[in-house]
Amino acid sequence: MGFNIDDYYTALTGDNVLLAYKGSVTTDFINNVLDTVEAKLQDFDEESKIRKKVYNVLVESLQNLYHHIDELPDKFKDEYDIKFGILVISKENSAYKISTGNFIRSEKIKYLKDKIDKINSLSKEELKDMYKFILNHQKLSAKGGGGLGLVDIARKTGNKLNYMFQSFNNEFYFYTLEIFVSE
């Protein structure tokens, strides 16, 4: 048996969760999440600097999730809309953790893994240079991005991107990304 979404989601939704969602990722959902998280961060009386950082990283994370979701495996097509994803935002010690998850076709894994590993290997200065290079040289993709999202997240957080690909079946894996945002 392959990866179990419900077990994964349950494990993510432990203590100190600001928001947990499993379902269709739409533009309305993204707008609602951003409004909700912004309000919750203010309720927590979080410093302005960390609020802005969490919000900005969340925007990038949601855009990545929205634009790069692959179609669903047949097993889920009756239960969820095409753009299925998971989002959990929690607080761990003094950091916020943004966890996203979505299905990805097996043939896309190597490219994405290599891209994240490259980003994780770069220094702060090298990330800045890569960001500028992409900004000045890349064309927009068919999905509307230029490849800046993950680089921008790494730049803004100063942390490595934690990821995992869990086998679901022969065609699909479930891709999870964990981003830690701290001061």
Q: What is the pLDDT of residue 10?
A: 73
Highest mean pLDDT among 1-10, 71-80, 118-127: 118-127
The domain covering 5-105+160-181 belongs, at the CATH homologous superfamily level, to Histidine kinase-like ATPase, C-terminal domain (3.30.565.10)
Q: Where are the alpha helices (DSSP H) in 44-164?
A: 48-68, 74-77, 109-121, 124-137, 149-157
Paired tokens of 140 = 């927009």
Kindly indicate the confidence band of residue 145, based on its pLDDT and cuts at 50, 70 and 90. low
Q: What is the pLDDT of residues 114-136, one digit of tens each?
A: 999 999 999 999 999 999 998 88
The whole-number average pLDDT for the span 98-109 is 94
Q: How distant, in Å, are the alpha carbons of 122, 151, 159 from that of 127?
A: 6, 7, 11
Q: How distant, in Å, are the alpha carbons of 40, 128, 134, 140, 148 from that of 131?
A: 30, 5, 5, 14, 7
Q: What is the pLDDT of residues 42-59, one digit of tens each?
A: 888 888 899 999 999 999
